[in-house]
Amino acid sequence: MTTSLSRSPRTRDAERRGPRAAPMRDPRPEHDRPLETEYRPRHPLDLNRTVLSQRHGAGDPTMTVSGAVIWRVSRTPAGIATLALRETHPGVIRGAAWGPGREWVLDQLPALCGADDDPSAFDATRHPLIADAHHRHPGIRLSRTGLVFDALASAIFEQKVTGVQAFGAWRRIVTWCGERAPGPTPSPMFAPPTVDGWQHIPSWVWHRAGLEPPQSKTVVRAARRGDAIVRAVLDAEDGEAVDRVLISQPGIGPWTSAETRIRALGDPDAVSVGDYHLAHEVGYALTGHRVDDDGMLQLLAPWAGQRQRVIRLIGASGVREPRRGPRLHPEDHRAR
């Protein structure tokens, strides 16, 4: 699991001002009283493990945790919204929302907390480690945001780079080019750019943010067809149909499609084939040694339809392959 770059207060202030010390935008918006709701799931729910799976590193400007409250900023079909979630009592989730999209995010709150996730067909007894993790973590659900383009853009950021690089670039671009969040957020938070906004980010801003040209060009190309991509994905009948829609776009392959399906749709069967670490971790957890992508797919085959759930339980199990060498040191090309 990767962490974001450590930042001094001066660095954080510089990032909020934007590249080359642009004037600071968007002072904290005024906010009215929030809309509020209460959600009582009919199943065990581990709120943090479920919802925080949507976070892009510890410094994500769209999602943070303050005390017992999870704060999330979204650009919804109805407009920007800030959502605050807290488990007030066991099995009782309180939600408060600000901004034009507040009704939308409150309507989507159960899905964000895994209400659409159906594990009834899952057989954890096929492997003792999975059975143990399932027993110890019954509240892990697969979260669904319904926000296809944001999920796609963030997945493109993470193509073929370390988490540190991807999360840092995401933090900078969203902070510089997104929109300040409404509501009493514990720190300045931002919604991602609009689909149109992604298209008009200058090349030098991408460069200063630390995102490589292949990824930035892919985001811009996808944004040009963003509305059509979103409609096609939401109309697709299953994961294979979503794959066909996404992989038909230049620069988007199976890994990016799977990550988008996981985040936006809560797809219980999506597997991020091509991930630098995933096959090794799955192989080590289930067999005690590394495997490649083909070997991983063979190991997960008995859980067809529920393979992402197995991967999540492996992550929760705490079983990790011992590291054999130094961590990969990311190169920083921004000064070039």
Instruction: List the CATH number of the domain containing 88.
Output: 3.30.310
Q: Please check the confidence at residue 4 and state whether its pLDDT lies above 50.
A: no
**Which band of pLDDT confidence, cut at 50, 70 and 90, is reported for residue 23?**
very low
Q: Please check the confidence at residue 220 and state whether its pLDDT lies above 60.
A: yes
Q: Confirm if 272 and 263 have CB atoms less than 8 A apart.
A: no
Q: Which of these three, 114, 136, 158, is where a domain ends?
A: 136
Q: Which of these three, 110, 136, 162, is where a domain ends?
A: 136
Domain membership flag for residue 16: no
Domain range for 100? 32-136
Mean per-residue pLDDT over the chain, rounded? 90
Q: Confirm if 49 and 316 have CB atoms less than 8 A apart.
A: yes
The dihedral built from the CA positions of residue 3, 21, 8 and 327, taken in this order, carries a sign that is positive
**Which band of pLDDT confidence, cut at 50, 70 and 90, is reported for residue 21?**
very low
Residue recorded with tokens 């002072």 = 27
Do 175 and 308 lie in one domain? The reply is yes
Do 176 and 120 lie in one domain? The reply is no
Do 121 and 180 lie in one domain? The reply is no
Domain membership flag for residue 335: no
Domain membership flag for residue 200: yes
Do 178 and 243 lie in one domain? The reply is yes
Do 88 and 171 lie in one domain? The reply is no
Do 171 and 265 lie in one domain? The reply is yes
- What is the number of domains present in the chain? 2
pLDDT at 44: 94
Do 171 and 230 lie in one domain? The reply is yes
Backbone angles phi, psi at 76, to 5 degrees: -90, 170
233: domain CATH number is: 1.10.340.30
Do 232 and 258 lie in one domain? The reply is yes
Domain membership flag for residue 163: yes
Whether this model's pTM surpasses 0.95: no
Do 101 and 174 lie in one domain? The reply is no
Do 59 and 118 lie in one domain? The reply is yes
Domain membership flag for residue 233: yes
- In this prediction, residues 170-197 reach a mean pLDDT of 97
Q: CA of 51: how far to CAs of 112, 149, 237, 254, in Å? A: 6, 18, 25, 24
C-alpha closest to that of 54 among 79, 78, 80, 74 = 74
Domain membership flag for residue 15: no
Domain membership flag for residue 217: yes
Do 276 and 161 lie in one domain? The reply is yes
pLDDT at 276: 87
- In this prediction, residues 291-320 reach a mean pLDDT of 97
Do 50 and 170 lie in one domain? The reply is no
Domain membership flag for residue 142: no
Q: Which of these three, 95, 114, 136, is where a domain ends?
A: 136
